[in-house]
Structure 1
Amino acid sequence: MLSLREFDDRRLSPYTGWTRDHWAALADHLLLSARRYASGSHARISFPGPPGGYGADVDGLEGFARTFLAAGFRVAGESGRDPLGLMEWYAQGLATGTDPRSPERWVRLDEHGQAKVEAASLALVLHLTRPWLWDRLDPIVREQVVDYLAPAIGSDYPPINWIWFQIMVEQFLASVGGPFERKDIEEGLAFTDGFARENGWYADGAERAYDHYAGWALQFYPLMWSEMAAGDPAADSRRPLYLERLERYLHDAVHLVGADGSPLVQGRSLTYRFAAATQFWTGARAGLATPGPGLLRRAASGIARHFAERGAPDEDGVLTLGWHGAWPPIAQSYSGPGSPYWAAKGFFGLSLPADHPVWTAVEEPLPVEFDDYHRVVRAPGWLVSGTRADGVVRVVNHGTDHSHPGTHLTDSPLYARLGYSTVTSPVLAGEHAADPFDQSVVLLDDDGRPSHRTGFETLLLDRLPSGTMIGASRWQAHWVTPESDAGGDHGYGRPGTVRLGPWIELISAVRGPWEVRLIRLLEPGLLRVGGWPLPATGPDAADRTLHSQVIAGAGLDLRGMVPAEDSSPLAPWTLIPWCATSGPARPDTWYDAAVFLGGQEPGRPPVVSWSDPVVARVTWPDAADDLLDTSAALSGPRPPRQ
C-alpha cells in the first residue's frame, strides 16, 4: 500500500495529516505508473486486465483521457511549472490520437458513444492548461483536435449527466475559434435545469437517480462551464444560481462522509473512488464562504487517504476495478481497465495554487467528528444519521431507486435498498444481489423468492420534536424475471416479466444507530426483514469493531444470520441479520423490528408498544419517547386490494 506519511503535517491538518504535498505525490505516482502501460506514441494507455465491455480501443482512450485530467490539474495549479514533462508527454499522445491516419488513433465520437465522455475531459484539460499546451501545439495538431471534437455538434447525447459533455466540448471549440452550435449549448443548459431538485441537489436525469454523480458531475460541470464561458451573459447570469445550489448541496454532502474518510457506499461507478472528493474542491475553487476551506479539504483529503491506505492504487501504482483493492464484480457493463481513472477528477484541488485558502486553512472536523446528527435530505429521500462515537454515517432510504413511482423493475442493490452507510456495502454479487436480502422488507413467494420495491411511493420525510427522523413509503410487492436482452448492467433495476403481489407500507423512525421499522401488509404474505450487511472475515467471523442486529417484534418469530461469500468489496464475507414471520403475516396489522448498525455493542434496544392499533410509542435507549401516528404518516388514499 502507498505510504505518504512522510508528508504529514498535524498542525495544518490535525484530522488527516494530509497537505497539498500528499495530493501532488499521489497524482505523480499514478501518472508515472501509468506511463508503463502507454503505447509508443502515448496516445493509448491500456492498463492490465481483460478488455472492458466497450473493447480495447475505448479502454486505451479512457486510459489517456482520464489520466490527462490529473496531469492537467497538476500543471494548472503550478502555473505551468512541469518538472515531469507532463504537457510534452500528453501533447505527443494528442497528436497521434487525433491523427486519422495513425494506427494508434482514437475511436471517434461518431464511432462510439463512450468517446463523447472522454472528449469532455480532453476539452476541460485543454482549457485549464491552454498557455502551456494548446497554445504550443503545432497548428496541424490543433486542427486535428478540433476535427476530432467536432462530431459533438448536433449529436445525440443520453438525457443524463452526458448532456454536460456536449456543452463542455462545444464551449471549448467556441473558445478556440472552432465550429460549434450555440443552439446545442443553450438547449443543453435548459435541459440540465430540469435535473435540479430541492436544496441544491441534482438528479441524474428524470428518474430518482441520486448518487455520486450528483457531486462529481452535476455540480462540477456547471461551474467549470461558467468559467470557460466567462464574459458571456448567459454564463455570467447562470453562475450565481449554480453557486447557490452547490453551497446548499455541500452542506448535505459533508454529512455523508464517515470519520474514516469513506464516502457513502451507494450508487453506480463506485470504482471511481476518490472522484467523490471533486465536489469539495469545486466548492473551494468557487470561493464559497461555507462550508469553509478547512472543512472542504478535510472531507476531500479524508476520502483520498481512505483509499490510498487501503490498497488503491495497488502495489504497481494502478487503480484497479474495485473499491479498496481489486474487486472486479464492482464493474458495470461500461467499465474497463481504464475506467477507474475517473478517480483523477478527485485531484481537482491541485488546480488551485499552494497559497489558496483551501490549502492554507487549518482542517476543521467533519460533522460526524463534531457531534451526533439527524439530517433529513429531502431530494434523495434520505434520513441521515451520524454518530460521533464510532464515526459512522448511515442513510435510511425512502426516496431513491433510479426509477419512477409505479414502475415494477428489479431492485438495484446500489439504489433501492432501505439503507446505505460508510462502513457497509450492499450485497453486489451472488444470489442476494439479484434477490434482495440485506436492508430490505420483502414478501417471499411459494418458491422462497423475495419481492422487489422499485417504484415505491415516498409518503413522508420529517423530523419529530424530539429530533427523531421519520420516513414512510409504500409499494406493491412484485417479482420480476429479468429479460435476457434487457441491455447492459448499468447498475440499476432491470425490466422483465412481472408478477404483482400485496402492497407493503413501511414507516422508519431513526435515532442514532437505531432504526425502528413499522411494517403493514394489505393482504397476507410471508414477511421477511433484512438488516445491515456486516463485513466479515469468515462465515461466522464478524468484524468485532462493527455490529449489526435486527431485533424482532411480536409476530416476527423467525430470525437468523445469513453469510454471503465474496458478495461485497469490503470483506471476504458478508453477514446479514434477519427476522421473518413463520406463516403469512396478518393484513392490516403492524409489525415492528429494530435495526442497528454501530461501532459499539448495541445494548438496550428501542422498545415499541402500541397504545391503540395505529399509534406506536417508541422508547429509545437514550430515554427519548416518541409517539408515531401511523395513520398520519400514511395519509392519502390507500391502494386498492388485488
Structure 2
Amino acid sequence: MSGHRTAVDERSASISPYTGWTRSEWAALADHLLASAWQHASPTGALITPPGTPGGYGTAVDGLEGFARTFLLAGFRIAGEHGRDPHHLLERYAAGIAAGTDPGSPERWTTPREHGQAKVEAASIALILDLTRPWLWDNLDPGVQQRVVDYLAQVVGDHTYPQTNWVWFRIVVEQFLASVGGPWSPDDIAADLATHESFARDGGWYCDGPERSYDHYAGWALHLYPILWSRMTGAQAQAAPLLPEYTRRLDRYLLDAVRLVGADGSPLIQGRSLTYRFAAAAPFWAGALAGTGALAPGLLRRAASGIVKHFTDRGAPDADGLLTLGWHHPWRRIAQRYSGTGSPYWASKGLLGLALPAEHPVWTDVEQPLPVEQADQFAVITAPGWALSATAADGVVRVYNHGTDHARPGDRSTDSPLYARLGYSTATAPAMDDDGWDCPLDQSVVLLDTHGEATHRSGFTTLDVQLLGGDAAVLASRARCRWVKPDRNAPDHGSGLPGDAVDAATVTTVSVVRGAWEVRLVHVDPAGAPGWDQVTALRVGGWPVPAGVADDRSTPVLARPRPAADTPDARTDPAGTPLSEGPAQPVAEAVGTTLTSTAVGLHGLDVAGVHTVHDATPLAERTAIPWLQARPGPTAWHIAAFALNGGAPAPLAQISGPEDAPVVRVTWPDQVTTTAALPAPPTGPHHHAQNRSSAA
C-alpha cells in the first residue's frame, strides 16, 4: 500500500507541481461531498436538506436545492466515467426524481409555478438528465418520464423570469423538453438568447442584468451556460452560429479571470453568492469544454485546482463533509435572502471538469503557474470599471473599482459592501456586519454628519478607467453622495437597499494606482445639496485586514512623519508652497495576521486612525481598517495614499494645471512618476464658482 501511495504522490508532483491535485483528488472530493450530502436525504431521496437554519425560502426549497445541486455533481461524475457508477448514484437519483415529480408524494418538489427558485433548480435537473441520458433518462419508467416533462413544462411561456442569468434556466429546460418531445417554445428560447446578448460588454465580460452587476456570475453562469447548452441534445443547429462568438468572449474573459486568482487559490472576495465558493472554478472548465485557445489545459487545471484546494485546505467542506453557508467556515452573514442550507452546493459547478474523461488534456497536461506566480500583473478591465494589480511577492490580487455597484447610474440606494467598495482583493473581505452595510468605512469615501452617519455613493457616474503606461492606471467616478434611511423590508439579493435620501454633496473620487499603492484624490462640491450644513467630516477608508490582536478601540493618530521624497518639488502645491512645511502627514497602519494596510494623508487630511470591527468578515474574528479624516474643504482636493502590503515610503502627489483641467503628478516609492488628468469640476445646476486658492 505504501509503495502505491508513493507512486501516486510522485505522479501528482510531476503532473501537478503547484497543487498536487490530479483527477483522483477531484474524484475523491466529489464522492465525499455526495456521500455526506446523502446522509441528509429524505426517505425516497427526493429532497436533500443539509442541517441548519432554513433559508429565506423555506425548508421545502432548501431540500429541492440540495437534490438538484448535488445532482449536478453526480451527473458530472457519471458522465466523465462513461456511465460507470460504483456508488449507485443513478439508482438513488432516479428514485428521487420519481418521488419528487409525483404530486401525491409527501416528498414532492416545489414546482416552478409555486416558487421562482424551482425554476433555477429545474435547470440543473434538465442539464443532468440530458448529460446522463443513456444511463438515467432512457431507463426511467415512461410514467416517471411524463411526470418530469409535466414538471418542467411549467416554465414554458412563463414571463416572470428575471432578466438576468435566469434566462438560461428557461433555455436549458426548454431545450431538454424539445429533445424528449415535450412542450417548448422557440419564441421563449429566441427571446432569452436575445436577452443574453444584451448582457455582453467589452473584453468578453457579461453584466448580470441591466444594473452594473459584475461579479462571479459572469463566469459561473453567463459564460458557463452557453457552452453547456450548445452541447445539449438538439441544440446544435441553433447554437452553431452563436457558438463562435460565445467562445470568443469566453477566451477573452479567461485572460482576466485567471489573473483574478490569488497565488493561494482564493477567488476575488467580491459580489453576491460567495457561499458558492469554488463555483468560481467553473469558467476554467467551461474553457476546457469549449476547447479554448486562450489558456493552456495545464493552466486551466491549475486555476481550478487552486480554487478548490483553497477551500478544502481551510475547512470547506466541514468535518461532516458538508458545504455550509459560509466561506472557509460557517458564516451566515455571507448569505443572501435566497440562500438556504442546500444553496452552497452550486459549488458543484466548480467540479464540472469531472465530466471530461481522464484522457482529456486538461487532466493529462502538466500544471502551469498562475499569472501572479510568474510576475506582477497589471491590467485595466473596462467593463466592470476595474484596475487589477497583483503582486508576485505576496500572491495577492487587488482590484480597484470605479464601475461596479449593482445599481444604475443615478440610483439612490445604500452601498452594498459586496459591490460598491473602491477596492477588493483575494486576501481581504469587505466588512459585512450591520455597520458595513449602513455606514461604509473600508475602501470608502464618505461624508459624516453630526451623529457619525456616513453617506452612500451607489449610482455614481464613472468618469475614467484608463491605463497609464504598462503598470499604472487612473480611475475616476463622481457621486451625488447622500445619507439614506434604508428600507429594511426590501429583498436582500446582494445589492444596496432603497430608502429615503438626503443629499450631502457631489463627491469626485480619483484613484491613481500602481503596484500595491493607490493615490486617492477626493473633491467635494456642496452646491445645491440640502444636507451640506450637516456635514462634519470627510472620511476615507483603507484596506480591511484580518487581525489577530484584540483591540476594541478606534484610535486617532494626529500625525506621524513619513520619509520625504528625494525631489524638492514633490511636496508643493500648484503655487509652489512646500506641503511638507505644514504638520507632519497623518498615518494609520493596521498590521494584520499576514497583511499590512496603510493609510497616509498626503494633503488636506489631518487625522488618522485604525478601527477594529468584530465578526464583520468571514476571514477572521477581528478586522482592522485604517482611516483618514478631515473637515472637508469645499472645492479642495484632498489626497491620500493607501496600500495593502505596500511598505515604505508612501507615494507623493501634487496637482497643477488650470482649474478646468487639473493634472496630478504622482511620485511612487521607487521614484517613477505618473501623470494623470483629473476630472474638471462638476457642472450643471448645482455647480458653483470654486475658490482656486483652496485647491491642493
- Which residue does the alignment assign to 1:604? 649
1:331 paired to 2:335 = yes
Structure 2 counterpart of 1:273 = 277
By how many angstroms is 1:410 displaced?
0.1
**Aligned-partner SS, 1:237:** coil
Q: Does 1:376 align with 2:421?
A: no
**Residue aligning to 2:575:** none
Find the counterpart in structure 1 of residue 600 from structure 2. 551
* Alignment match, 2:195: 191
Aligned position for 1:519: 522
Aligned residue identity for 2:548: T
Residue deviations 1:44-103, cap 9 Å, x none? 111110111101110110110000010000000011011111111111101111111111
- Asked whether the equivalents of residues 591 and 597 of structure 2 are also in contact (C-alpha less than 8 Å), the reply is no
- SS of residue matched to 2:390: strand
Q: Are 1:459 and 1:634, in contact at CA under 8 Å, matched by a contact in 2? A: no
> Could you tell me which amino acid in structure 1 is paired with residue 504 of structure 2?
G
Alignment check: 8 A CA contact 1:466 1:624 kept: no
- State the alpha-carbon separation in 1 of the partners of residues 279 and 403 from structure 2: 24
CA deviation vs aligned residue, 1:484-524 (integer Å, no higher than 9, x gap): 432x2111111100101210111111100001101111137
Shift of 1:624: 1.0
From the superposition, tell whether residues 386 and 639 of structure 1 become closer, same or farther in structure 2 (CA, over 3 Å): farther
Q: 1:470 deviation in Å?
A: 0.8
Question: Secondary structure of 2:603's partner?
Answer: coil
Q: Distance in 2 between matches of 1:36 and 1:544?
A: 37
1:532 partner letter: W
Q: Which residue does 1:529 correspond to in 2?
A: 540
2:614 aligned with 1:565, yes or no?
A: yes
Match of 2:686?
640
> Which consecutive unaligned segments of at least 5 residues does structure 2 have?
527-531, 552-589, 689-696
Q: CA deviation at 1:446?
A: 1.9
Of 173, 176, 183, which aligns to 1:172? 176
Report deviation, 1:604: 1.1
| Alpha-carbon distance change, 542 to 610 in structure 1, aligned in 2, over 3 angstroms | closer
Alignment of 1:35 onto 2:38: yes
Over the matched positions of the two proteins, sequence identity in percent amounts to 57
Q: Does 1:385 align with 2:389?
A: yes
Q: Is residue 592–residue 624 contact of structure 2 (8 Å, CA) maintained in 1?
A: no
CA–CA distance in structure 1, aligned partners of residues 629 and 242 of structure 2:
52
Code of the residue aligned with 1:85 in structure 2: it is: H
Give the CA deviation at 1:430: 3.2
Q: Is residue 592 of structure 1 aligned with residue 639 of structure 2?
A: yes
The residue aligned with 2:345 is: 341
| 1:74 to 1:466, Cα distance in 2 relative to 1, 3 A | closer
**Equivalent position to 1:425, from 407, 429, 436:** 429
Q: In the TM superposition, what whole-angstrom CA distance separates every residue of 1:339-359 from its partner, at most 9, and x where no partner exists?
A: 101101111000000010111
TM-superposition CA deviations, 1:294-340 (whole Å, max 9, x none): 11111100000000010000000010000001011111011111110
SS of residue matched to 1:109: coil
In structure 1, the partner of 2:128 is 125
Contact 1:95/1:141 (CA < 8 Å) preserved in 2? yes
Say if 1:210 and 1:380, in contact at 8 Å, map to a contact too. yes
CA contact 2:378–2:471 (8 Å) conserved in 1: yes
RMSD after superposition: 1.7
- 8 Å CA contact 1:58–1:115 kept in 2: the answer is yes
Q: What pairs up with 1:96-115 in 2 under 5 angstroms?
A: 96-115=99-118
Shift of 1:467: 2.7
**1:213 Cα deviation (Å)?**
0.5
8 Å contact kept, 2:130–2:233: no
Question: 1:469-488 residue pairs with structure 2 within 5 A?
Answer: 469-486=473-490, 488=491
Aligned partners of 1:258 and 1:368 also within 8 Å: yes
Q: TM-score, normalised by structure 2?
A: 0.89
Shift of 1:181: 1.0
The aligned residue for residue 73 of structure 2 is 70
Q: Say which is worse superposed, 457-466 or 384-393, in terms of deviation.
A: 457-466
Contact 2:279–2:346 (Cα < 8 Å) also in 1: yes
CA drift at 1:374: 1.2
Alignment partner, residue 576 of structure 2: none
Question: Whose Rg is larger?
Answer: 2
CA distance in structure 1 between the partners assigned to 2:90 and 2:685 by the alignment: 62
Structure 1 residue 609: deviation in Å? 2.7
- Say whether 1:467 aligns with 2:471: yes
Q: Please give the secondary structure, in 2, of the residue aligned with 1:340.
A: helix
8 Å contact kept, 1:539–1:564 = no
Equivalent residue, structure 2, for 1:54: 57
Deviation at 1:234, TM superposition (A): 2.3
- What amino acid maps onto 1:475 in structure 2? A
Tell whether the 8 Å contact from 2:265 to 2:309 is kept in structure 1 after alignment.
Answer: yes
SS at match of 1:219: helix
1:242 equivalent to 2:246? Answer: yes
2:563 corresponds in structure 1 to: none
Separation in 2, partners of 1:563, 1:377: 32
Deviation for aligned residue 1:16 = 0.9
CA drift at 1:400: 0.2
Equivalent residues, number: 632
Q: SS of 1:313's equivalent?
A: coil
- How many angstroms does 1:220 deviate by? 0.6
Equivalent position of 1:352 in the other structure: 356
Q: Is the contact made by 2:546 and 2:593 (CA closer than 8 Å) also made in structure 1?
A: no
Q: What is the CA deviation profile of residues 526-584 of structure 1, one whole-angstrom value per residue up to 9, with x for unaligned ones?
A: 21110000111243494342110111122211110000000000000111100000x3x
Which letter does structure 2 place at the counterpart of 1:591?
H
> Unpaired segments of 5 or more residues in structure 1?
none
Q: What is the match of residue 313 of structure 2? A: 309
SS of 1:364's partner is coil
Out of 320, 324, 346, the residue aligned to residue 320 of structure 1 is: 324
Superposition deviation, residue 593 in structure 1: 0.5
Asked whether the equivalents of residues 54 and 340 of structure 2 are also in contact (C-alpha less than 8 Å), the reply is yes
- Please identify, of 106-115 and 431-440, the stretch whose mean Cα deviation from structure 2 is larger: 431-440
